[in-house]
Amino acid sequence: MVKQPEPQYQSYLMRLWRADKEKAWRVMLECVDTQERYGFANIDGLYAFLCEQMSDNNRTGAKD
């Protein structure tokens, strides 16, 4: 029987908030496995982080 590779995944809890209606939205991700938190001042920072996490060069936190 051939062993199938386990799927690779990362799980995050995402929180969105803003101090008041005039302030920009902020984002925080918390890694479900490690409870590490990552804060972002804007959506571009969040997007860059997620792209890096999905790259083949960054395997931190991936399930192998």
- The mean pLDDT value of the chain amounts to 84
Handedness of CA 16, 19, 24, 29 (dihedral sign): negative
- What pTM was computed for the model? 0.68
pLDDT tier at 7 (50, 70, 90 boundaries)? low
Domain ranges of the chain: 12-54
Task: Indicate if the pLDDT at residue 64 is higher than 60.
Answer: no
What pLDDT score was predicted for residue 63?
A: 45
pLDDT in tens, 10-37: 899 999 998 888 988 899 999 999 999 9
pLDDT tier at 47 (50, 70, 90 boundaries)? very high
- E strand or H helix at 39, and its extent? strand 37-40
